[in-house]
A and B are shown apart, each in its own frame.
Chain A
Amino acid sequence: MMKRGSSDLKLLVVLAVFSAVSGLLLALVNEVTKERIAMVKVKKQEKALMEVVSKFDTVEVETLLANPSDPVELFICRASDGKVGGVAIKLSTRQLSKDEIIKLGLPETVKQDQAYDAPIKMLVGFSAEGKISGVSFLEHKETPGLGSNIEKQEFKSNYAGAAIDGKKWSVKKDGGDIEQLTAATISSRAVTGAVVKAIELFKIKSKALGLK
């Protein structure tokens, strides 16, 4: 009996030590990498912004919905003469609560299609004339080889260049104009849903910015 008790204790201690050491290691690595990862994300966002809004000199950021990890933001891109050349909206496919929908001024019936995995974070760019100038993905965890194909140019061209009222914004399977990805209808639907939200937000904001 005595022996068994002591060996059980040993197992406990060994596992506890292992967990503690690995916890410590992870905390250390997290501490070392935290700032750099944040920096990489900022750089990636800047690059994405250049991709979806063609030309600009200064950028103004307006937070439409504060959230520590997943905010909705409006980037107002101005040319050197101060005129708005284009805007970009940063958002994700996250399910918004009723309060958040009201706060953003979105229609209550707005569709909220979820991504296959974690929310897809993306930027949707609009030109001053009310066209979608581009879509760029900041972060996603869609299945490699299937859902991850949302990053392909063929899929993105569903959106880029289209007038905001020029298309039926839903996937073909649901009767719309968006060519869904083979074997990744869920991802296609989620992205399309987020683009629709961005269009609605653009419509609300464009008046205030003096765009037509």
Chain B
Amino acid sequence: MSINIKKELYRGIVTENPLFRIALGMCPSLATSTSATNALGMGLSVIAVLTCSNTVISLLRRQIPDKVRIPAFIVIIATFVTMVDLLIAAFVPTLYDALGIFIPLIVVNCIILGRAEAYAAKNEVLPSTVDGVVMGVGFALALTLVGSLREFFSAGTLFGFAIAPFKYQFILMILAPGAFITLGLVLAFINYMQNKEA
């Protein structure tokens, strides 16, 4: 069985982008996209967990009865996240200092459960792992884009570096409304471009 990685990546980043197209995992996304660094941190954590959870759920998909699949998925995901949390805290403390606050947030990210339900539960192991990676990458890129826009418009910085020609502060953009406004405008722009093409 061969998998076209390019095609899969295109699917994860563009046609089925978790944040912009499927619109899943909005809640933690809005909360963690206050700066480009935070968004990237959350994005990387999601790639790791999504890849692992997709693989394991696909492996176990025949053992899980249909009626209890959702609680079973949640048990698997929560176990994974907690294990990752403990292991990083113990063995890579510097990474934990940077990402530690995001890891518990992943449990409530419905993109993980969404991919388990929509893909991993119905497909073979390898494609499911690939799906986890490309969906994670798509999510991370989208989140970093939103985070960069919010950081730039709120403080004129990007990844903490000043890039605007003058100093300003626009608090609204780091607050919750800024998240909705940014996401709404980005979605509108994407839809506009797509309609124009069609």
Q: Write the residues of chain A forming the contact surface with B, with a CB cutoff of 8 angstroms.
A: 7, 10-11, 14-15, 18-19, 22, 25-26, 29-30, 32-33, 36-37, 40, 43-44, 141-146, 148, 182-183
Contact = CB atoms under 8 A, between A and B. Distances in A.
A144 B93 contact: no
A143 B31 contact: yes
Interface in B166-198: 169, 171, 174-175
Contacts of A146: 34, 174
Given A29-B86, A40-B93, A144-B38, A14 B102 contact: no
Interface stretch (B12-20, B60-68, B134-142): B60-68
Interface stretch (B1-9, B70-78, B114-122): B70-78
B163 interface: no
A29 B85 CA distance: 10
The range of chain B's interface size is: 20 to 34
A77 B3 CA distance: 62
Nearest to A15: B68
Interface string B20-55: 000000000001101100100110000000000000
The 9 closest A-B pairs by CB, nearest first: A145-B34, A33-B90, A36-B90, A22-B79, A40-B93, A33-B86, A145-B38, A11-B68, A144-B38
A142 to B, nearest CB: 8
Given A22-B78, A43-B93, 10 more contacts: A22-B75, A25-B79, A29-B87, A33-B86, A33-B89, A37-B86, A44-B93, A144-B31, A144-B41, A183-B175
A14 B63 contact: yes
B83 interface: yes
A183 B174 contact: yes
A36 B87 CA distance: 10
State the main secondary structure of chain A at its contact with B: helix
Contacts of B32: 144-145
Given A144-B31, A145-B34, A40 B83 contact: no
B161 interface: no
A144 B174 CA distance: 11
A11 B86 contact: no
B101 interface: yes
29 contacts: A7-B65, A14-B63, A14-B64, A14-B68, A14-B72, A15-B71, A15-B72, A18-B75, A19-B75, A26-B82, A26-B83, A29-B82, A29-B83, A29-B87, A32-B90, A33-B87, A33-B91, A36-B91, A37-B86, A40-B93, A44-B93, A142-B101, A144-B38, A144-B41, A144-B42, A182-B171, A182-B174, A183-B174, A183-B175
Contacts of B86: 29-30, 33, 37
Nearest to B42: A144
A29 B89 CA distance: 12
B69 to A, nearest CB: 10
Nearest to A40: B93
A22 B102 CA distance: 22
B138 to A, nearest CB: 21
Given A182-B171, A182-B174, A145 B35 contact: yes
Nearest to B72: A18
B101 A148 contact: yes
B76 A18 contact: yes
Contacts of A44: 93
